[in-house]
Structure 1
Amino acid sequence: MLTPDNAIEKAGNLISHSKRIVAFTGAGISTDSGIPDLSGIDRILKDDPYFTGDVFNLLSSSFATHHPEEFYRLYRKTFFQPNAQPNEAHHFLASLEQTGKLVGIATMNIDWLHQLAGSQTVFEYWGDMHKNHCVYCQRSFDWQIIKEMVLPKCPSCGHVIIPDFVMRNLATYQDAVAAGQALIAQADLLLIVGTKRSPNQFPQKTPKIIINEYPVLSGGNNFLEVNGRASVVFSKINQYLRTI
Protein backbone atom coordinates (compact mmCIF):
# COMPACT_ATOMS: atom_id res chain seq x y z
CA MET A 1 0.00 0.00 0.00
CA LEU A 2 1.36 3.41 -0.96
CA THR A 3 2.12 6.00 1.69
CA PRO A 4 0.61 9.46 1.12
CA ASP A 5 4.00 10.79 -0.01
CA ASN A 6 4.49 7.85 -2.38
CA ALA A 7 1.03 8.46 -3.84
CA ILE A 8 1.88 12.12 -4.49
CA GLU A 9 5.15 11.13 -6.18
CA LYS A 10 3.47 8.50 -8.31
CA ALA A 11 0.75 10.96 -9.33
CA GLY A 12 3.39 13.55 -10.18
CA ASN A 13 5.31 11.07 -12.30
CA LEU A 14 2.17 10.04 -14.18
CA ILE A 15 1.39 13.67 -14.92
CA SER A 16 4.98 14.40 -15.91
CA HIS A 17 5.06 11.58 -18.47
CA SER A 18 1.60 12.21 -19.96
CA LYS A 19 0.88 14.41 -22.96
CA ARG A 20 -2.92 14.36 -23.34
CA ILE A 21 -4.34 14.78 -19.84
CA VAL A 22 -8.08 15.28 -19.34
CA ALA A 23 -9.70 16.26 -16.04
CA PHE A 24 -13.19 15.23 -14.99
CA THR A 25 -14.32 17.28 -12.00
CA GLY A 26 -17.16 17.21 -9.49
CA ALA A 27 -18.24 19.26 -6.50
CA GLY A 28 -15.34 18.13 -4.32
CA ILE A 29 -12.86 20.26 -6.24
CA SER A 30 -14.64 23.45 -5.16
CA THR A 31 -15.27 22.86 -1.46
CA ASP A 32 -12.06 24.69 -0.52
CA SER A 33 -13.44 27.67 -2.44
CA GLY A 34 -16.37 27.81 -0.03
CA ILE A 35 -18.92 26.02 -2.20
CA PRO A 36 -20.50 23.04 -0.44
CA ASP A 37 -20.66 19.68 -2.16
CA LEU A 38 -23.91 17.71 -2.31
CA SER A 39 -23.36 16.23 1.15
CA GLY A 40 -22.81 19.72 2.55
CA ILE A 41 -25.86 21.07 0.76
CA ASP A 42 -27.92 18.18 2.08
CA ARG A 43 -26.86 19.07 5.63
CA ILE A 44 -27.74 22.74 5.07
CA LEU A 45 -31.19 21.83 3.80
CA LYS A 46 -31.84 19.36 6.63
CA ASP A 47 -30.88 22.01 9.19
CA ASP A 48 -33.13 24.64 7.60
CA PRO A 49 -36.23 25.08 9.78
CA TYR A 50 -38.47 26.14 6.90
CA PHE A 51 -37.63 23.63 4.16
CA THR A 52 -38.70 20.00 4.25
CA GLY A 53 -37.48 18.78 0.86
CA ASP A 54 -34.14 17.61 -0.47
CA VAL A 55 -31.72 19.05 -3.00
CA PHE A 56 -33.72 17.67 -5.92
CA ASN A 57 -36.89 19.35 -4.65
CA LEU A 58 -34.96 22.60 -4.37
CA LEU A 59 -33.62 22.35 -7.92
CA SER A 60 -36.94 21.64 -9.62
CA SER A 61 -38.33 24.22 -12.02
CA SER A 62 -41.75 23.88 -10.39
CA PHE A 63 -40.43 24.82 -6.94
CA ALA A 64 -38.37 27.73 -8.29
CA THR A 65 -41.27 29.06 -10.36
CA HIS A 66 -44.03 28.71 -7.76
CA HIS A 67 -41.95 29.50 -4.65
CA PRO A 68 -39.30 31.90 -5.97
CA GLU A 69 -38.66 33.68 -2.66
CA GLU A 70 -37.98 30.38 -0.90
CA PHE A 71 -35.94 29.09 -3.83
CA TYR A 72 -33.63 32.10 -3.85
CA ARG A 73 -33.25 32.10 -0.07
CA LEU A 74 -31.96 28.53 -0.25
CA TYR A 75 -30.07 28.96 -3.53
CA ARG A 76 -27.97 31.67 -1.89
CA LYS A 77 -27.27 29.44 1.12
CA THR A 78 -26.05 26.61 -1.10
CA PHE A 79 -25.09 26.77 -4.77
CA PHE A 80 -24.95 30.49 -5.48
CA GLN A 81 -21.65 31.81 -4.15
CA PRO A 82 -20.68 34.54 -6.64
CA ASN A 83 -17.71 35.72 -4.56
CA ALA A 84 -16.06 32.29 -4.53
CA GLN A 85 -12.57 32.20 -6.01
CA PRO A 86 -10.63 29.35 -7.65
CA ASN A 87 -8.42 27.34 -5.33
CA GLU A 88 -5.09 25.61 -5.93
CA ALA A 89 -6.77 22.70 -7.71
CA HIS A 90 -8.43 24.94 -10.30
CA HIS A 91 -5.21 26.89 -10.81
CA PHE A 92 -3.14 23.71 -11.19
CA LEU A 93 -5.41 22.38 -13.94
CA ALA A 94 -5.32 25.75 -15.70
CA SER A 95 -1.51 25.75 -15.56
CA LEU A 96 -1.40 22.22 -17.00
CA GLU A 97 -3.47 23.43 -19.93
CA GLN A 98 -1.22 26.44 -20.44
CA THR A 99 1.82 24.17 -20.69
CA GLY A 100 0.04 22.01 -23.27
CA LYS A 101 -0.20 18.87 -21.15
CA LEU A 102 -3.90 19.08 -20.34
CA VAL A 103 -6.23 19.16 -23.34
CA GLY A 104 -9.40 20.07 -21.47
CA ILE A 105 -11.84 19.63 -18.61
CA ALA A 106 -15.26 18.00 -18.40
CA THR A 107 -17.11 19.16 -15.31
CA MET A 108 -20.35 18.52 -13.47
CA ASN A 109 -19.95 21.83 -11.63
CA ILE A 110 -21.88 25.01 -12.31
CA ASP A 111 -19.60 27.39 -10.37
CA TRP A 112 -17.49 28.66 -13.32
CA LEU A 113 -14.33 28.45 -11.21
CA HIS A 114 -12.37 26.61 -13.89
CA GLN A 115 -12.85 29.54 -16.25
CA LEU A 116 -12.00 32.05 -13.52
CA ALA A 117 -8.74 30.17 -12.97
CA GLY A 118 -7.90 30.57 -16.65
CA SER A 119 -8.94 27.23 -18.16
CA GLN A 120 -9.98 27.60 -21.79
CA THR A 121 -11.42 24.23 -22.81
CA VAL A 122 -14.17 23.43 -20.33
CA PHE A 123 -17.28 21.38 -21.09
CA GLU A 124 -19.98 22.00 -18.48
CA TYR A 125 -22.44 19.13 -18.38
CA TRP A 126 -25.06 21.19 -16.50
CA GLY A 127 -24.14 24.66 -17.71
CA ASP A 128 -23.21 27.30 -15.15
CA MET A 129 -24.66 29.96 -12.88
CA HIS A 130 -24.09 32.67 -15.48
CA LYS A 131 -26.98 31.32 -17.55
CA ASN A 132 -30.45 32.36 -16.39
CA HIS A 133 -33.79 32.89 -18.13
CA CYS A 134 -37.18 34.45 -17.51
CA VAL A 135 -39.74 31.69 -17.01
CA TYR A 136 -42.29 33.55 -19.15
CA CYS A 137 -40.66 35.40 -22.05
CA GLN A 138 -37.45 33.32 -22.07
CA ARG A 139 -35.20 36.38 -22.11
CA SER A 140 -31.68 35.44 -21.02
CA PHE A 141 -29.73 37.06 -18.21
CA ASP A 142 -26.23 36.87 -16.77
CA TRP A 143 -25.83 36.31 -13.05
CA GLN A 144 -25.42 40.04 -12.38
CA ILE A 145 -29.18 40.42 -12.02
CA ILE A 146 -29.19 37.49 -9.56
CA LYS A 147 -26.55 39.25 -7.49
CA GLU A 148 -28.36 42.60 -7.55
CA MET A 149 -31.98 41.56 -6.87
CA VAL A 150 -33.23 39.61 -3.86
CA LEU A 151 -35.99 38.23 -6.07
CA PRO A 152 -34.79 38.54 -9.68
CA LYS A 153 -37.60 39.51 -12.04
CA CYS A 154 -37.56 40.18 -15.74
CA PRO A 155 -37.56 43.93 -16.49
CA SER A 156 -39.54 43.23 -19.67
CA CYS A 157 -42.46 41.17 -18.39
CA GLY A 158 -42.10 41.10 -14.61
CA HIS A 159 -41.93 37.32 -14.24
CA VAL A 160 -39.33 35.52 -12.16
CA ILE A 161 -35.87 34.68 -13.53
CA ILE A 162 -34.40 31.28 -12.64
CA PRO A 163 -31.11 29.52 -13.43
CA ASP A 164 -31.04 27.50 -16.63
CA PHE A 165 -29.95 24.29 -14.91
CA VAL A 166 -33.03 24.56 -12.68
CA MET A 167 -35.33 25.47 -15.56
CA ARG A 168 -34.09 22.34 -17.33
CA ASN A 169 -34.75 20.19 -14.23
CA LEU A 170 -31.09 19.14 -14.13
CA ALA A 171 -31.11 17.80 -17.68
CA THR A 172 -27.56 17.78 -19.00
CA TYR A 173 -26.50 19.62 -22.13
CA GLN A 174 -26.04 16.73 -24.52
CA ASP A 175 -23.64 18.62 -26.78
CA ALA A 176 -21.39 19.33 -23.78
CA VAL A 177 -21.59 15.70 -22.64
CA ALA A 178 -20.72 14.46 -26.13
CA ALA A 179 -17.79 16.88 -26.34
CA GLY A 180 -16.60 15.82 -22.90
CA GLN A 181 -16.79 12.16 -23.80
CA ALA A 182 -14.85 12.77 -27.02
CA LEU A 183 -12.22 14.62 -24.99
CA ILE A 184 -11.98 11.78 -22.47
CA ALA A 185 -11.62 9.22 -25.27
CA GLN A 186 -8.38 10.83 -26.47
CA ALA A 187 -6.77 11.09 -23.02
CA ASP A 188 -3.58 9.27 -22.09
CA LEU A 189 -4.26 10.14 -18.42
CA LEU A 190 -7.50 10.99 -16.64
CA LEU A 191 -7.65 13.13 -13.50
CA ILE A 192 -10.96 12.33 -11.80
CA VAL A 193 -11.38 14.92 -9.06
CA GLY A 194 -13.98 15.51 -6.38
CA THR A 195 -16.58 13.01 -7.54
CA LYS A 196 -17.68 9.58 -6.37
CA ARG A 197 -18.28 8.46 -9.93
CA SER A 198 -16.77 5.02 -10.45
CA PRO A 199 -13.62 4.75 -12.59
CA ASN A 200 -15.46 1.93 -14.37
CA GLN A 201 -17.53 4.63 -16.09
CA PHE A 202 -14.42 5.83 -17.90
CA PRO A 203 -12.30 4.12 -20.58
CA GLN A 204 -10.82 1.07 -18.88
CA LYS A 205 -7.45 1.17 -20.62
CA THR A 206 -6.74 4.81 -19.75
CA PRO A 207 -4.65 5.37 -16.59
CA LYS A 208 -6.49 7.37 -13.96
CA ILE A 209 -5.67 9.41 -10.89
CA ILE A 210 -8.66 9.54 -8.52
CA ILE A 211 -8.57 12.44 -6.06
CA ASN A 212 -11.16 12.55 -3.26
CA GLU A 213 -11.06 13.67 0.34
CA TYR A 214 -12.08 10.21 1.54
CA PRO A 215 -11.59 6.73 0.05
CA VAL A 216 -14.48 5.79 -2.22
CA LEU A 217 -13.11 2.83 -4.18
CA SER A 218 -13.29 -0.83 -3.26
CA GLY A 219 -11.22 -2.35 -6.05
CA GLY A 220 -10.16 -2.20 -9.67
CA ASN A 221 -7.01 -1.56 -11.62
CA ASN A 222 -5.29 0.99 -13.82
CA PHE A 223 -5.91 3.82 -11.38
CA LEU A 224 -4.17 5.56 -8.50
CA GLU A 225 -6.30 6.85 -5.65
CA VAL A 226 -4.98 9.86 -3.73
CA ASN A 227 -7.01 10.88 -0.70
CA GLY A 228 -7.17 14.44 0.54
CA ARG A 229 -8.72 17.78 -0.30
CA ALA A 230 -8.15 18.49 -3.97
CA SER A 231 -6.49 21.86 -3.35
CA VAL A 232 -4.01 20.29 -0.92
CA VAL A 233 -3.29 17.27 -3.12
CA PHE A 234 -2.63 19.36 -6.22
CA SER A 235 -0.48 21.78 -4.22
CA LYS A 236 1.70 18.85 -3.13
CA ILE A 237 1.82 17.42 -6.65
CA ASN A 238 2.84 20.82 -7.97
CA GLN A 239 5.62 21.05 -5.39
CA TYR A 240 6.85 17.59 -6.35
CA LEU A 241 6.81 18.40 -10.08
CA ARG A 242 9.12 21.34 -9.42
CA THR A 243 11.74 18.97 -8.02
CA ILE A 244 11.96 16.61 -11.00
Structure 2
Amino acid sequence: MAKPPEKTRSTASRPIAPPPLSQHLRELALRPDAWTVFARNLIPVIGIYCFGWSAALSVFNYWFDGLTALAAIVAALIPRALRETQPKTGHVTWLGTLVRGVVTWLFLLGIVGLPYWIVLIPLHDLLLGDELRRQLAHSPALWFTFGSLAASHFWKTFRMGYDTMPDKELKQRARCDIYLLILRAMAMFIMAAHGLAFILVPLMALLLSYLEIWPERALGAVFGDPSRLWEYDPGDPTSNRRRR
Protein backbone atom coordinates (compact mmCIF):
# COMPACT_ATOMS: atom_id res chain seq x y z
CA MET A 1 0.00 0.00 0.00
CA ALA A 2 1.42 3.35 -1.00
CA LYS A 3 2.31 5.73 1.79
CA PRO A 4 0.27 8.92 1.87
CA PRO A 5 2.15 12.06 0.89
CA GLU A 6 3.98 13.54 3.83
CA LYS A 7 2.90 16.97 4.96
CA THR A 8 5.48 19.62 5.64
CA ARG A 9 5.43 23.20 6.71
CA SER A 10 4.80 25.70 3.97
CA THR A 11 7.79 27.62 2.75
CA ALA A 12 5.80 30.75 3.54
CA SER A 13 6.11 30.07 7.28
CA ARG A 14 9.81 29.21 7.32
CA PRO A 15 12.01 31.94 8.82
CA ILE A 16 14.23 33.72 6.33
CA ALA A 17 17.69 34.56 7.61
CA PRO A 18 18.65 38.21 7.06
CA PRO A 19 21.67 38.98 4.88
CA PRO A 20 25.10 39.53 6.45
CA LEU A 21 26.10 42.76 8.14
CA SER A 22 28.31 43.72 5.20
CA GLN A 23 25.30 43.83 2.88
CA HIS A 24 23.37 45.98 5.34
CA LEU A 25 26.27 48.42 5.49
CA ARG A 26 26.53 48.58 1.69
CA GLU A 27 22.82 49.31 1.44
CA LEU A 28 23.07 52.01 4.09
CA ALA A 29 25.78 53.73 2.08
CA LEU A 30 23.40 53.87 -0.90
CA ARG A 31 20.34 55.04 1.05
CA PRO A 32 20.58 58.58 2.44
CA ASP A 33 17.03 58.28 3.80
CA ALA A 34 18.19 55.49 6.10
CA TRP A 35 20.60 57.85 7.83
CA THR A 36 17.72 60.23 8.44
CA VAL A 37 15.84 57.41 10.16
CA PHE A 38 18.86 56.63 12.34
CA ALA A 39 19.31 60.29 13.24
CA ARG A 40 15.66 60.68 14.23
CA ASN A 41 15.67 57.57 16.41
CA LEU A 42 18.92 58.60 18.09
CA ILE A 43 17.43 61.85 19.41
CA PRO A 44 16.32 60.28 22.74
CA VAL A 45 19.75 58.66 23.13
CA ILE A 46 21.52 61.98 22.69
CA GLY A 47 19.03 63.66 24.99
CA ILE A 48 19.60 61.15 27.80
CA TYR A 49 23.39 60.96 27.65
CA CYS A 50 24.13 64.56 26.71
CA PHE A 51 21.30 66.69 28.11
CA GLY A 52 20.06 64.72 31.09
CA TRP A 53 16.69 63.68 29.71
CA SER A 54 14.68 61.17 31.71
CA ALA A 55 15.39 57.56 30.76
CA ALA A 56 12.06 56.49 32.28
CA LEU A 57 10.19 58.97 30.11
CA SER A 58 12.01 57.82 26.97
CA VAL A 59 11.24 54.15 27.66
CA PHE A 60 7.61 55.04 28.40
CA ASN A 61 7.47 56.85 25.08
CA TYR A 62 8.59 53.69 23.25
CA TRP A 63 6.02 51.60 25.14
CA PHE A 64 3.15 54.07 24.77
CA ASP A 65 3.89 54.71 21.10
CA GLY A 66 3.76 51.01 20.27
CA LEU A 67 0.66 50.30 22.34
CA THR A 68 -1.36 53.20 20.94
CA ALA A 69 -0.36 52.28 17.38
CA LEU A 70 -1.61 48.76 18.06
CA ALA A 71 -4.80 50.12 19.65
CA ALA A 72 -5.43 52.24 16.56
CA ILE A 73 -5.11 49.27 14.21
CA VAL A 74 -7.48 47.18 16.31
CA ALA A 75 -9.95 50.07 16.44
CA ALA A 76 -9.80 50.46 12.66
CA LEU A 77 -10.70 46.79 12.22
CA ILE A 78 -13.69 46.89 14.58
CA PRO A 79 -16.27 48.59 12.26
CA ARG A 80 -15.73 45.97 9.58
CA ALA A 81 -15.93 43.13 12.09
CA LEU A 82 -19.18 44.49 13.52
CA ARG A 83 -20.67 44.95 10.08
CA GLU A 84 -19.81 41.42 8.99
CA THR A 85 -21.17 39.88 12.21
CA GLN A 86 -24.28 42.06 12.44
CA PRO A 87 -27.40 39.94 13.00
CA LYS A 88 -29.65 39.98 9.95
CA THR A 89 -32.79 39.85 12.05
CA GLY A 90 -33.84 41.85 15.06
CA HIS A 91 -33.62 45.50 15.97
CA VAL A 92 -30.11 46.95 16.15
CA THR A 93 -29.52 50.34 17.74
CA TRP A 94 -26.52 52.59 17.26
CA LEU A 95 -25.96 52.62 21.03
CA GLY A 96 -25.88 48.84 21.16
CA THR A 97 -23.47 48.76 18.23
CA LEU A 98 -21.26 51.34 19.92
CA VAL A 99 -21.16 49.37 23.16
CA ARG A 100 -20.37 46.16 21.30
CA GLY A 101 -17.61 47.93 19.43
CA VAL A 102 -15.99 49.38 22.55
CA VAL A 103 -16.18 46.09 24.45
CA THR A 104 -14.78 44.17 21.49
CA TRP A 105 -11.99 46.72 21.07
CA LEU A 106 -10.98 46.51 24.73
CA PHE A 107 -11.08 42.71 24.67
CA LEU A 108 -8.99 42.43 21.52
CA LEU A 109 -6.52 45.05 22.73
CA GLY A 110 -6.09 43.06 25.92
CA ILE A 111 -5.31 39.92 23.89
CA VAL A 112 -3.35 41.31 20.95
CA GLY A 113 -1.53 43.79 23.18
CA LEU A 114 -0.46 41.09 25.63
CA PRO A 115 3.27 41.56 24.83
CA TYR A 116 2.95 45.21 25.89
CA TRP A 117 1.29 44.24 29.18
CA ILE A 118 3.91 41.57 29.86
CA VAL A 119 6.79 43.97 29.28
CA LEU A 120 5.57 45.97 32.28
CA ILE A 121 6.87 43.18 34.51
CA PRO A 122 10.63 43.53 33.86
CA LEU A 123 10.31 47.29 33.29
CA HIS A 124 8.21 47.87 36.39
CA ASP A 125 10.69 50.25 38.02
CA LEU A 126 10.94 52.42 34.92
CA LEU A 127 7.39 52.43 33.59
CA LEU A 128 5.54 52.33 36.92
CA GLY A 129 8.05 54.14 39.08
CA ASP A 130 7.61 57.32 41.10
CA GLU A 131 9.85 59.36 38.79
CA LEU A 132 7.66 58.81 35.74
CA ARG A 133 4.40 59.33 37.64
CA ARG A 134 5.74 62.58 39.07
CA GLN A 135 6.76 63.89 35.66
CA LEU A 136 3.42 63.00 34.09
CA ALA A 137 1.42 64.40 37.00
CA HIS A 138 3.11 67.80 36.94
CA SER A 139 3.50 68.40 33.22
CA PRO A 140 0.44 69.25 31.11
CA ALA A 141 2.81 69.49 28.15
CA LEU A 142 3.57 65.78 28.45
CA TRP A 143 -0.13 64.94 28.54
CA PHE A 144 -0.60 67.01 25.41
CA THR A 145 2.39 65.37 23.73
CA PHE A 146 1.30 61.81 24.42
CA GLY A 147 -2.31 62.65 23.61
CA SER A 148 -1.22 64.08 20.27
CA LEU A 149 0.87 60.98 19.64
CA ALA A 150 -2.11 58.70 20.24
CA ALA A 151 -4.41 60.88 18.14
CA SER A 152 -1.93 60.86 15.25
CA HIS A 153 -1.84 57.06 15.29
CA PHE A 154 -5.63 56.83 15.14
CA TRP A 155 -5.84 59.48 12.42
CA LYS A 156 -3.19 57.83 10.28
CA THR A 157 -4.60 54.33 10.75
CA PHE A 158 -8.20 55.21 9.91
CA ARG A 159 -7.02 57.02 6.77
CA MET A 160 -5.29 53.85 5.55
CA GLY A 161 -8.63 52.30 4.66
CA TYR A 162 -8.58 49.01 6.57
CA ASP A 163 -12.38 49.07 6.46
CA THR A 164 -12.56 48.95 2.65
CA MET A 165 -9.60 46.74 1.72
CA PRO A 166 -10.20 43.38 0.01
CA ASP A 167 -9.85 40.47 2.42
CA LYS A 168 -6.47 39.32 1.14
CA GLU A 169 -4.98 42.80 1.20
CA LEU A 170 -6.48 43.45 4.64
CA LYS A 171 -4.93 40.30 6.12
CA GLN A 172 -1.54 41.08 4.61
CA ARG A 173 -1.45 44.73 5.67
CA ALA A 174 -2.92 44.28 9.14
CA ARG A 175 -0.68 41.34 9.99
CA CYS A 176 2.39 43.14 8.72
CA ASP A 177 1.67 46.22 10.84
CA ILE A 178 0.63 44.27 13.93
CA TYR A 179 3.55 41.83 13.77
CA LEU A 180 6.05 44.69 13.60
CA LEU A 181 4.53 46.27 16.70
CA ILE A 182 4.57 42.93 18.51
CA LEU A 183 8.24 42.48 17.60
CA ARG A 184 8.93 45.83 19.24
CA ALA A 185 7.30 44.73 22.50
CA MET A 186 9.02 41.35 22.41
CA ALA A 187 12.38 43.04 21.95
CA MET A 188 11.73 45.36 24.90
CA PHE A 189 10.86 42.37 27.07
CA ILE A 190 13.95 40.39 26.04
CA MET A 191 16.25 43.35 26.65
CA ALA A 192 14.78 44.09 30.07
CA ALA A 193 14.60 40.43 31.13
CA HIS A 194 18.30 39.98 30.35
CA GLY A 195 19.39 42.94 32.44
CA LEU A 196 19.81 45.37 29.54
CA ALA A 197 17.36 47.98 30.80
CA PHE A 198 20.23 50.38 31.47
CA ILE A 199 20.98 50.54 27.73
CA LEU A 200 17.44 49.89 26.52
CA VAL A 201 17.06 53.29 24.87
CA PRO A 202 20.11 52.95 22.56
CA LEU A 203 19.12 49.39 21.70
CA MET A 204 15.55 50.45 20.96
CA ALA A 205 16.84 53.26 18.75
CA LEU A 206 18.75 50.71 16.67
CA LEU A 207 15.84 48.27 16.62
CA LEU A 208 13.26 50.85 15.57
CA SER A 209 15.60 52.03 12.84
CA TYR A 210 15.98 48.47 11.55
CA LEU A 211 12.21 47.86 11.65
CA GLU A 212 11.63 51.05 9.70
CA ILE A 213 14.39 50.58 7.12
CA TRP A 214 14.10 46.81 6.60
CA PRO A 215 10.64 45.75 7.85
CA GLU A 216 10.45 42.81 5.44
CA ARG A 217 13.69 41.33 6.78
CA ALA A 218 12.56 41.64 10.38
CA LEU A 219 9.25 39.95 9.58
CA GLY A 220 10.91 37.28 7.48
CA ALA A 221 13.37 36.37 10.23
CA VAL A 222 10.50 35.56 12.61
CA PHE A 223 7.33 34.87 10.63
CA GLY A 224 8.58 33.64 7.27
CA ASP A 225 7.92 35.09 3.83
CA PRO A 226 6.69 38.65 4.56
CA SER A 227 4.81 38.81 1.26
CA ARG A 228 2.65 35.82 2.21
CA LEU A 229 1.51 36.67 5.72
CA TRP A 230 -2.08 36.66 4.48
CA GLU A 231 -1.95 32.90 3.84
CA TYR A 232 -2.01 31.83 7.46
CA ASP A 233 -5.51 31.04 8.73
CA PRO A 234 -5.72 30.00 12.41
CA GLY A 235 -9.03 28.27 11.73
CA ASP A 236 -7.64 26.09 8.97
CA PRO A 237 -5.02 23.55 10.14
CA THR A 238 -3.90 23.02 6.55
CA SER A 239 -3.30 26.69 5.80
CA ASN A 240 0.37 26.51 6.75
CA ARG A 241 1.01 23.14 5.16
CA ARG A 242 1.44 21.82 1.65
CA ARG A 243 1.88 18.45 0.01
CA ARG A 244 5.14 17.48 -1.57
| TM-score, normalising length: structure 1 | 0.26
Higher strand share: 1
> Which protein is bigger by CA-based radius of gyration?
2
- Between 1 and 2, higher relative CO (CA 8 Å, sep ≥ 6) is seen in 2
